[in-house]
């Protein structure tokens, strides 16, 4: 067996590492939020996808039809990231929040990107992921591919989640065991 030597290097957040990562990131992308927002719209136009916009907040809204339910997607561009947020087409009954949260955790541990979550204020289930466009190049192809991947992921789980979320429990039943 060989001997390995580890060089003591400290990488500070926001500082310069020996690899020059901050300088490289600055060279990679000088795009603004307005540039990325425009790129999303152009990508959707070229793909002939229907969408709506909220220009003052740099949000593109679209709906895809899944196998079971429609999938509403908001693509939100801020100063650092482009966020893809899918609102599933149902609300969880408050009695089912524990069961829905449990199921979402089981699904999330299988995913390689993004995550499902339950908004406890209104019962909506969402799926979200973000891409830091300030740190890496983003393209029209990426936006379309990522949108498609988000839709496919939501579509895979939404039908089963709806059944759990809207299920009416019998009085006295335990949410953990049904």
> Do residues 62 and 48 make contact, with C-beta atoms less than 8 angstroms apart?
no
Angle separating helix axes 33-46 and 140-166, nearest 10 degrees: 80
pLDDT, tens digit, for every residue of 136-176?
889 999 999 999 999 999 999 888 888 888 875 444 444 44
| Both tokens assigned to 43 | 């990508």
pLDDT at 65: 84
Q: Which residue has the higher pLDDT, 29 or 145?
A: 145
> Do residues 118 and 104 make contact, with C-beta atoms less than 8 angstroms apart?
yes
Of 6-15, 119-128, 136-145, least confident by mean pLDDT is 6-15
Mean pLDDT of 102-106: 91
pLDDT at 26: 54
pLDDT at 140: 96
Please count the other Cβ atoms lying within 10 Å of the Cβ belonging to residue 39: 19
Q: Is a pLDDT exceeding 80 seen at residue 122?
A: yes
> Do residues 17 and 11 make contact, with C-beta atoms less than 8 angstroms apart?
yes
pLDDT at 129: 95
Tell me the domains of the chain and their CATH numbers.
Answer: 32-164 (3.30.1460.70)
- Distance between CA 61 and CA 53 in Å, rounded? 6
pLDDT at 169: 47
The per-residue pLDDT of the chain, averaged, comes to: 82
Please count the other Cβ atoms lying within 10 Å of the Cβ belonging to residue 125: 26
């Amino acid at each position: 067996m060989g001997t390995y030597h580890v060089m003591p290097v400290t990488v500070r957040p926001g500082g310069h590492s020996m690899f020059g990562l901050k300088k490289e990131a600055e060279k990679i992308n000088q795009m603004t939020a307005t540039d990325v927002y425009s790129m999303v719209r152009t990508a959707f136009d070229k793909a002939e996808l229907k969408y709506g916009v909220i220009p003052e907040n740099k949000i593109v809204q679209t709906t895809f039809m899944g196998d079971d339910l429609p999938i509403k997607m908001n693509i939100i561009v801020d100063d650092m990231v482009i966020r893809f947020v899918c609102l599933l087409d149902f609300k969880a009954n408050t009695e089912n929040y524990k069961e829905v949260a449990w199921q979402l955790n089981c699904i999330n541990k299988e995913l390689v990107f993004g995550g499902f979550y339950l908004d406890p204020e209104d019962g909506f289930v969402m799926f979200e992921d973000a891409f830091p466009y300030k740190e890496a190049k983003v393209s029209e192809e990426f936006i379309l591919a990522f949108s498609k991947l988000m839709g496919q992921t939501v579509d895979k789980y939404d039908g089963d989640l709806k059944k759990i979320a809207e299920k009416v429990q019998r009085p006295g039943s335990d949410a953990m065991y049904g």
